[in-house]
Amino acid sequence: MLTFTSDYIAGAHPQVLAKLVETNLENLSGYGTDIYCQSAAEKIKAACALGDEADVVFLAGGTQTNQIVISTLLAPYEGVIAAQTGHVSLHEAGAIEYSGHKVIQLECKNGKLEAGVIRDFLRTYHADENKEQMVLPGMVYISFPTEYGTLYSKSELEGISAVCKEYEIPLFVDGARLGYGLESYDNDVTLQELAALCDVFYIGGTKVGALCGEAVVFTRGNLPKHMSAQVKQHGGLLAKGRLLGVQFDALFSGNLYFEISRHAIEMAEKLKTLFKEKGYDFFIDSPTNQQFVILENGRMKELEKEVNFCFWEKFDDAHTVVRFATSWSTKEEDIEALGKLL
Amino acid sequence: MLTFTSDYIAGAHPQVLAKLVETNLENLSGYGTDIYCQSAAEKIKAACALGDEADVVFLAGGTQTNQIVISTLLAPYEGVIAAQTGHVSLHEAGAIEYSGHKVIQLECKNGKLEAGVIRDFLRTYHADENKEQMVLPGMVYISFPTEYGTLYSKSELEGISAVCKEYEIPLFVDGARLGYGLESYDNDVTLQELAALCDVFYIGGTKVGALCGEAVVFTRGNLPKHMSAQVKQHGGLLAKGRLLGVQFDALFSGNLYFEISRHAIEMAEKLKTLFKEKGYDFFIDSPTNQQFVILENGRMKELEKEVNFCFWEKFDDAHTVVRFATSWSTKEEDIEALGKLL
Amino acid sequence: MLTFTSDYIAGAHPQVLAKLVETNLENLSGYGTDIYCQSAAEKIKAACALGDEADVVFLAGGTQTNQIVISTLLAPYEGVIAAQTGHVSLHEAGAIEYSGHKVIQLECKNGKLEAGVIRDFLRTYHADENKEQMVLPGMVYISFPTEYGTLYSKSELEGISAVCKEYEIPLFVDGARLGYGLESYDNDVTLQELAALCDVFYIGGTKVGALCGEAVVFTRGNLPKHMSAQVKQHGGLLAKGRLLGVQFDALFSGNLYFEISRHAIEMAEKLKTLFKEKGYDFFIDSPTNQQFVILENGRMKELEKEVNFCFWEKFDDAHTVVRFATSWSTKEEDIEALGKLL
Amino acid sequence: MLTFTSDYIAGAHPQVLAKLVETNLENLSGYGTDIYCQSAAEKIKAACALGDEADVVFLAGGTQTNQIVISTLLAPYEGVIAAQTGHVSLHEAGAIEYSGHKVIQLECKNGKLEAGVIRDFLRTYHADENKEQMVLPGMVYISFPTEYGTLYSKSELEGISAVCKEYEIPLFVDGARLGYGLESYDNDVTLQELAALCDVFYIGGTKVGALCGEAVVFTRGNLPKHMSAQVKQHGGLLAKGRLLGVQFDALFSGNLYFEISRHAIEMAEKLKTLFKEKGYDFFIDSPTNQQFVILENGRMKELEKEVNFCFWEKFDDAHTVVRFATSWSTKEEDIEALGKLL
């Protein structure tokens, strides 16, 4: 069975796994204080061109990371601005609200917030005489790439960053698929530029080569106080923090994180070409590892017998939008095999 | 200075206050167990044509009521559906999210949710293969009248009630201004019909004759367990619960609640006529005690010198939407005085 | 029936009620922005010998006040130190934990925490190498008088205040029955001294002459940010904030608050003498308005036929501890009538 | 450097790691729906002699597990009874309170709650006329082994289980170190008996052979509704749930979990003998893998140069309690090397 269901269908990249095996019997201190967490943090800061002002915290998964970053950076009475289709808005089972904060959902295009829309919202909020009865917007959350595979251009990021600075609220970039964004052929922003434009972001591991793990980068001396205690309070502190440190140490040794991301993009481009050649329509033009294809329902049923992919949404009564995802683990032969089925 | 800022500018209706004075030195038991709370509950149930299956709980204010009703009726992982312009969506400083629940904001017209929109949302949710990653919609919240002064017709309420029954989730009606809705000339639903169509609603006191207080009616044996403890846990239990019981006992003695509501409607109709005659435009056609008028900014500045009203929102660069509210305490002479200023 | 069940069995003191009646039809602004809230705040600050550095916030009840003060002053990861028998520890249905904070319960004597016990706890905590896995103690909560009617002496308060300063955490005094403490014959601390020794405290109204209401005093520029929004977020903001302002304005006009408190103490002393003369034993030696008497169970059953009092706890198989409370509303003739029954 | 700091200093047991390597490139479905999670769940149910009435949920770590189990089984207004020294009481940074629930801390002996103490508490609670102002005790939490390494005997567990049944509240057993308890020479309860005596418990993986992971067993059709959504809401759902499933599948293939636990016990017994022979005193008599030794402070400083162990608490001014932990990864030669240093 061919499988393109998601970008978390395989285990870890072999080099990541090898590092886990290699270090397995070393005796290390707990809760993220070990040498691999430290080493990985240093490598990540170097890759981001950040110095001592930056802090790196390793967490196990994306929803956990969004919940912890948002709730530790916001005041208890603040909410977070996000796209209506943002992961925190729709697909985290209410994890942000569970931590007491409103997700202020703004309209978006192709999964992306626009600087102008954010500025208008903030201006209107601050001009409202009844604003103390509303939730104070205390952060902007965007995803890079977005949930629809789309990317913010450097100038779009600069625009959003400028609004955040104007209103003195942090910009948080969810990088669950960061590698696939950075390595996209369409991307024009570097990791260093991204780090400079936001206050906090995370480098996704779960979807990019790790068994689990996200590396959160607080870029400017803004690590929340007592962060280790707060992570534990949220249930997110792993006793064997090494599990995350070792994996990110491997991913940021040499250029591994970027190379394996590049592979996923190359596979996605092949897949895209394939669908185009066969005359399929795309729901959205995605330059990253997630491709959203519109399938006629009968065709979909047929295809499901030999390929796993992901239901996305109903398109119309006769068609469905489905997602095909590539990843570091996608094999070229699988793309070719898929081609024969289309 | 003339004042039309809101419907909570005065104290209590004189008959309500008189009852507080009359009962003041009686020794009564605490926490809502006193005879006046019991008597008021019985009168309210009678007015709603409800029997022993119903329970009445008195709370101090509207946001508290919404927070407590929603969070005690929902499972911890459920969210509440509301209009984008609903009070719980916009003007409660995040009180619902503070209690851990998402407000699922759906598009609305003139402040009103439509049965079809709710059904489509629920159908799409339940058809989504990833629905376990989304917030389970566990309740529908509407306001009667809405935050824009508009009313659901009986058939609209029946439609929403039917959707709720179909999906087995409770319908909660926020009646902070219930009296002003029921007594509107345009209204076609009775208190009894309303009670029969929903699972829980509240009869607003703060805005309709009381110093404070809302009477929550659970219509069908659905009083949350250990409700007194839960109200206390939320900080909402008054030691002298009598303060609420006595006031509602007065409001539901004879026809008082409805008569004083009717007065507000009559005053609103006069005010409406006045603005119409003078050629002003309305932002929305409201049949209840809140009237939303579009003022040219210069005219607004002028008027503000002699009349208090409430900023609502910017209309365009030259105009502003403002709210004039009447209430049980509005005097006819004030309307007339306003007429001379227009 | 004679009633000594609690100190909230009657309505408001007649002068307080008169002020509500007198101001009832004035048109006032909402949410605590009215002139009576302002006037009451000024009078309270003057009575406390506090200046512009202080802020006064009016809330409706005790549990609400404790929840809001504690959760707005603590960081989300901090807990509050309290006596094992403290109101927040035992009798608020988990309202503090509901807001996400642990009540760190320390042993106490006669309802009172000791400075030495608090210091030992804080020293041990800060010396613990695993302290990041524990809840950070971020505040000390005490009651004056305590839940057992006992009082801290001035030197005891100075001791606790010194510990709090040493560890840089605020001291919060729950004054639900503050008047009855200040006017106790045994008390040696003035309102001004109390205000100087703590960071935040509240002046109880519900139990001392008001229908409802507590006046929270933040003594040193430490009003939480966006307090009005935070109060609303907790469901505690009254639209007609005047209800609280007017009552406290009356209570702090002249010496009313203190005079009516003194009356309760005089009544409590008479009641105490009565029980002593008749040979009853006390569970605890209380110098304030709550008296805890040990009754033989048969005697208790007998007495219950003609007097209402409050079950406190089982003493042994044959005896029960019960509470008799006096208040501003207690009549001398009721004490005398009770005497005849003993 | 010799290391006895904790039972989570090494990675995974080699057989567990081998299984991760072996299955690494298989394409599997996400969020715990994969075949290894299913297989592991079946093996665990078989080992517990449980059938279809039982459910197994895999989570990443201990605090997360305690938070999720407690908050999904309790009603929002309920609290959990635990020993004063319980992990949830002291060492989870307030994770239970963060989820809104009070930990009702009862006195304990050697880390153990007694059935009689629990029954007395529940009896007193239910007899209290003011119980609606208190937190409803909705669950009993115990640890097996406890935080002090001690064990409940079968008859002690039966006693606690009986109290829980009498009051109709679930019994939850924290088995973070379950294997080390079951394999203790002093233990008289089997895994099957434990499963039959409680409503929910978990089999610790993080401390017993896994990189991370705890297997929660709901023993009697009491899996919380929408559990997957609730786990995600708490930030605990791993995209690659296989990471947990594969590890537990390995641990419960053959007798691995028990064999490696037995090894830790054998090492602990050697270590215990060593300390005894050398004349050291124990803080507590622990029959499991954690040994608490009282060291004279100078001796401690000396030892720290060559051995890592864990500070536990101050004993007196001259002595300190420290913990030496063994685990599946402890080598006999390390124990011998330690012997030479004592």
Per-residue confidence of chain B (342 residues) as pLDDT tens digits?
899 999 999 999 999 999 999 999 999 999 999 999 999 999 999 999 999 999 999 999 999 999 999 999 999 999 999 999 999 999 999 999 999 999 999 999 999 999 999 999 999 999 998 999 999 999 999 999 999 999 999 999 999 999 999 999 999 999 999 999 999 999 999 999 999 999 999 999 999 999 999 999 999 999 999 999 999 999 999 999 999 999 999 999 999 999 999 999 999 999 999 999 999 999 999 999 999 999 999 999 999 999 999 999 999 999 999 999 999 999 999 999 999 999
C134 to D91: CB separation less than 8 angstroms, yes or no: yes
Dihedral (CA of B274, B277, B280, B284) sign = positive
The residue of C102, C135, C226, C227 whose CB has the most chain A CBs within 10 angstroms, and thus the best one to mutate to test that interface, is C226
Dihedral (CA of C259, C264, C265, C270) sign = positive
C-chain residues near D102 (CB < 8 A): 94, 97, 103
Q: What pLDDT is recorded for position A39?
A: 98
B-chain residues near D229 (CB < 8 A): 77, 132-134, 136
Query: Residue A233: which of D95, D206, D229 has the nearest Cβ?
Result: D95
B101 to A79: CB separation less than 8 angstroms, yes or no: no
What is the ipTM for the molecules in this complex? 0.97
B-chain residues near D230 (CB < 8 A): 76-77
A52-98 pLDDT per residue, tens: 999 999 999 999 999 999 999 999 999 999 999 999 999 999 999 99
A226 contacts chain C (CB < 8 A): yes
A76 to C226: CB separation less than 8 angstroms, yes or no: no
C234 to B206: CB separation less than 8 angstroms, yes or no: no
Tokens of residue A8, six digits: 């978390």
Contact A85, A111 (CB under 8 A): yes
Query: Residue A91: which of B77, B101, B133 has the nearest Cβ?
Result: B133
- Collapsing DSSP to helix, strand or coil, C236 comes out as coil
* Run of H or E residues at C194: helix C191-197
B317 contacts chain A (CB < 8 A): no
- Collapsing DSSP to helix, strand or coil, C253 comes out as coil
Query: Residue C129: which of D127, D134, D311 has the nearest Cβ?
Result: D311
Query: Residue C77: which of A100, A133, A233 has the nearest Cβ?
Result: A233
Phi/psi of residue C45, nearest 5 degrees = -60, -40
User: Average pLDDT, whole number, for chain A?
Assistant: 97
B239 contacts chain A (CB < 8 A): no
Q: How confident is the model at residue D41 (pLDDT cuts 50, 70, 90)?
A: very high
Residue for token pair 């948080």: A172
Q: What gap in Å lies between CA B44 and CA B39, rounded to an integer?
A: 9
DSSP letter at D135 equals P
D64 to A206: CB separation less than 8 angstroms, yes or no: no
A94 to B103: CB separation less than 8 angstroms, yes or no: no
- Collapsing DSSP to helix, strand or coil, C297 comes out as helix
D174 contacts chain A (CB < 8 A): no
Q: What gap in Å lies between CA A260 and CA B174, rounded to an integer?
A: 54
A282-292 pLDDT per residue, tens: 999 999 999 99
Q: Chain B closest CA to D339's CA: distance in Å?
A: 53
Tokens of residue D132, six digits: 């609606």
Tell me the count of C-D CB pairs closer than 8 A: 65
- Put simply, the chain C residues between 83 and 122 with a CB less than 8 A from any chain D CB are 90-94, 97-98, 100-103, 105
Q: Chain A closest CA to D277's CA: distance in Å?
A: 27
* Run of H or E residues at C251: helix C242-251
Q: How many CA atoms lie within 13 A of D284 on its CB side?
A: 24
Nearest residue in A to B88, CA atom: A134
Q: Chain A closest CA to B223's CA: distance in Å?
A: 24
Give domain limits for chain C: 2-7+256-341, 14-251
C-beta atoms surrounding A33 within 10 Å:
13
Tell me the count of A-D CB pairs closer than 8 A: 151
Q: What pLDDT is recorded for position D39?
A: 98
Nearest residue in B to C229, CA atom: B93
Q: How confident is the model at residue A129 (pLDDT cuts 50, 70, 90)?
A: confident
Angle formed by the axes of helices D256-277 and D332-341, to 10°?
10
- Put simply, the chain A residues between 25 and 44 with a CB less than 8 A from any chain D CB are 25-30
CA distances from A232 to A226, C77, D66 (A): 10, 10, 12
Tokens of residue D310, six digits: 């864990």
Please give the full DSSP string across D100-130, using - where no structure is assigned.
T--EEEE--BTTB--HHHHHHHHHHHHH-TT
Could you give the dihedral angle defined by the CA atoms of residues B25, B28, B30 and B31, in that order, rounded to the nearest 10 degrees? Answer: -100
Q: What pLDDT is recorded for position B11?
A: 98
Query: Residue C206: which of B25, B211, B239 has the nearest Cβ?
Result: B239
Whose CA is closest to B108, among B95, B128, B134, B89? B89
Q: Is the pLDDT of residue D230 over 90?
A: yes
D76 to B77: CB separation less than 8 angstroms, yes or no: no
Q: Which of the residues in chain C have pLDDT under 70?
A: none
For chain A, what percentages of helix, strand and coil (3-state, to nearest 5) are there?
Answer: 40, 20, 40
Beta bridge partners of B203: B215
C94 to D105: CB separation less than 8 angstroms, yes or no: no
* The CATH number of domain A2-7+256-341, selected from 3.90.1150.10, 3.40.718.10, 3.30.70.1560, 3.30.460.80: 3.90.1150.10
C77 to D90: CB separation less than 8 angstroms, yes or no: no
Contact A58, A228 (CB under 8 A): no
Q: How many CA atoms lie within 13 A of D231 on its CB side?
A: 22
Q: Where are the alpha helices (DSSP H) in A5-84?
A: 14-23, 35-47, 62-73
Whose CA is closest to B155, among B122, B105, B116? B116
* Run of H or E residues at B62: helix B62-73
Whose CA is closest to C322, among C286, C269, C282? C282
Q: What pLDDT is recorded for position D129?
A: 87
Q: Do domains C2-7+256-341 and C14-251 have the same CATH topology?
A: no
C14-251, CATH topology level: Aspartate Aminotransferase; domain 2 (3.40.640)
Residue for token pair 């419960």: D252
D24 to A8: CB separation less than 8 angstroms, yes or no: no
C-beta atoms surrounding D279 within 10 Å:
7
B-chain residues near C240 (CB < 8 A): 8, 11, 206, 211-212
Residue for token pair 């009168």: B43
Q: What pLDDT is recorded for position A58?
A: 98
Whose CA is closest to A205, among A28, A23, A37? A37
D224 contacts chain C (CB < 8 A): no
Residue for token pair 């106080």: A225
Q: What pLDDT is recorded for position B172?
A: 98
B-chain residues near A127 (CB < 8 A): 314
What is the average per-residue pLDDT within A211-227? 98
B9 to C27: CB separation less than 8 angstroms, yes or no: yes
What is the average per-residue pLDDT within A190-214? 98
B-chain residues near C87 (CB < 8 A): none
DSSP letter at C325 equals E
Phi/psi of residue C315, nearest 5 degrees = -95, -60
* Rounded to 5°, angle at Cα B153 from B148 and B154: 145
- Put simply, the chain D residues between 47 and 86 with a CB less than 8 A from any chain A CB are 60-64, 67-68
Chains with at least 3 CB pairs less than 8 angstroms from chain A: B, C, D
DSSP letter at C34 equals S
B12 contacts chain C (CB < 8 A): yes
Q: Is the pLDDT of residue A2 over 90?
A: yes
B-chain residues near A81 (CB < 8 A): none
Q: What gap in Å lies between CA B96 and CA B262, rounded to an integer?
A: 32
Pairing, β B307-308 against β B2-3: parallel
B233 contacts chain D (CB < 8 A): yes
C132 to A229: CB separation less than 8 angstroms, yes or no: yes
DSSP letter at D208 equals T
Q: What gap in Å lies between CA D71 and CA D65, rounded to an integer?
A: 10
DSSP letter at B38 equals H
